[in-house]
């Protein structure tokens, strides 16, 4: 039997990068899963508060993110979908693992180094939760005895840490209660920002034109793609080093196309070589719109159905609590807490 776990932070409406890099893979895994596979998908709200959130806004984003997970095609009867803070075992296991994890290892994490680079010299402002969140991430995965974790490239290092923590714990307490999970890296590349194509597309970037939201109308998609930063080199070529903007649009076009598996990207590049930038961008906008229009329509219905969303959250919390309870009990036993 397999157990698949993954999470997304409810820090805004998910964007095309979240979808192509992660969420679409979650649905694929669900739709191709055999009956002995357990699928667990979490809205990781405890991770979201590692940076300051407005309480009203966070509550709204939690609801919207849940509606979006359903809109993309996750089925609550097939996948366990839940808010992380509804399952206290995550935070409880995190504490126990924190007493095992080395601060040196955590300090070497790329994301910590990136996020702290601009806060140099002001450790008063740097929060402990931001430093230790890979430990919470390890607990998220380990508490469900996950065997496989689908993530984007940027998360591979944190998964390595989770394996290290699991093996270290088992070794220290002479047990085999924790499973070291395998990583499933998403086939899609990182989707880059439309306004700054050397940075990744992100929910929290200040400029809303930098990302395409899964809720964007056709008109909005068209205008964002039209305004996407490219370059003044003639023609359309694929060259991520010299032409990051155009190449990002190529990647989006290729990965958003449902027929992508029938041809490779080089063919697509050859097809479009002679096009003008306007025609190329139109094609990108059309393809993105076609890929997300049904999601957008389902989302509009779901997000207003408060009763249904609450039922799904309660059902998910109940199942996730059950899934986590056995591991936590055995961990506490191993440590001598129970
Ligand atoms: N630009 C991206 N391209 C491909 N995959 C991406 N992911 C995020 N951005 C891209 C993948 O989406 C999943 C959920 O991400 P997350 O919400 O947990 O956090 P994040 O990676 O920090 O995403 P954002 O959108 O940039 O959010 P904020 O701005 O809140 O930090 C992950 O599997 C991630 O790899």
Query: Quick check: helix, strand or coil at residue 317?
Result: helix
Q: How many CB atoms lie within 10 A of CB 61?
A: 21
| Residues 17 and 132 both lie in one domain | yes
Residue 289: which CATH number?
A: 1.10.240.10
C-alpha 175 – ligand 1 centre gap (Å): 34
Rg (alpha carbons) of the chain, rounded to whole number: 21
Residue whose tokens read 């997300």: 292
Residues 30 and 177 in one domain: yes
Output the pTM of the full model. 0.94
Full residue range of the structural domain in which residue 213 is found: 208-301
Q: Would the CB of 190 count as within 6 Å of ligand 1?
A: yes
Nearest CA to ligand 1 atom 14: 8
> Are 294 and 217 within one domain?
yes
Co-location of 16 and 110 in the same domain: yes
Residues 179, 311: one domain? yes
**325 & 292 share domain:** no
Q: Please work out whether the CB of residue 11 comes within 6 Å of at least one atom of ligand 1.
A: yes
**Are 59 and 136 contained in the same domain?**
yes
Share above pLDDT 70 across residues of the chain, in percent, rounded to a whole number: 98
Active-site residue list: 115, 200, 203
Let me know if residue 263 belongs to a domain.
yes
Which distant-in-sequence residues (6+ apart) come within 8 Å of 252 by Cβ? 16, 20, 191, 284, 287, 288
What ipTM was predicted for this assembly? 0.97
| C-alpha–C-alpha distance, residues 215 and 300, integer Å | 8
User: What's the total number of domains in the chain?
Assistant: 2
> Same domain, yes or no, for 147 and 32?
yes
Q: Is the pLDDT higher at 113 or at 214?
A: 214
Q: What is the pLDDT of residues 107-159, one digit of tens each?
A: 888 878 877 776 665 677 788 999 999 999 999 999 999 999 998 777 888 89
Query: Among the atoms of ligand 1, which is closest to the Cα of residue 155?
Result: 35
The two most distant CA atoms of the chain are separated, in Å, by 69
């Amino acid at each position: 039997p397999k157990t698949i776990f993954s999470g997304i932070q409810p820090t805004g409406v998910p964007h095309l990068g979240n979808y192509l890099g992660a969420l679409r893979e979650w649905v694929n895994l669900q739709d191709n899963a055999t009956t002995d596979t357990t699928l667990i998908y979490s809205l990781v709200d405890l991770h979201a508060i590692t940076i300051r959130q407005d309480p009203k806004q966070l509550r709204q984003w939690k609801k919207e993110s849940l509606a979006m997970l359903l809109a993309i095609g996750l089925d609550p009867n097939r996948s366990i979908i839940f808010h992380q803070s509804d399952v206290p075992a995550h935070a409880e296991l995190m504490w126990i693992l924190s007493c095992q994890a080395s601060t040196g290892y955590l300090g070497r994490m790329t994301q910590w180094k990136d996020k702290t680079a601009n806060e140099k010299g002001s450790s008063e402002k740097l929060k402990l939760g931001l430093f230790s969140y890979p430990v919470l991430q390890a607990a998220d995965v380990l508490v469900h005895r996950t065997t496989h974790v689908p993530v984007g490239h940027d998360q591979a290092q944190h998964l390595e840490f989770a394996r290290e923590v699991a093996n270290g714990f088992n070794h220290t307490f002479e047990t085999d209660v924790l499973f070291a999970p395998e990583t499933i890296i998403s086939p899609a590349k990182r989707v880059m920002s439309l306004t700054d194509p050397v940075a990744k597309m992100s929910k929290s970037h200040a400029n809303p034109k930098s990302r395409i939201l899964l809720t964007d109308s056709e008109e909005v998609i068209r205008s964002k793609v039209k305004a996407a930063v490219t370059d003044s080199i003639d023609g359309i070529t694929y060259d991520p080093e010299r032409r990051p903007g155009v190449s990002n649009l190529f990647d989006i076009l290729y990965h958003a196309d449902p027929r992508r598996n029938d041809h490779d990207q080089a063919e697509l590049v050859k097809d479009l070589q002679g096009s003008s930038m306007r025609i190329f961008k139109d094609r990108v906008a059309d393809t993105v719109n076609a890929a997300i229009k049904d999601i957008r329509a389902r989302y509009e219905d779901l997000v207003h159905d408060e009763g249904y969303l609450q039922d799904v959250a309660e059902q998910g919390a109940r199942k996730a609590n059950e899934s986590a309870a056995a591991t936590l009990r055995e961990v506490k036993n191993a440590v001598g807490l129970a």
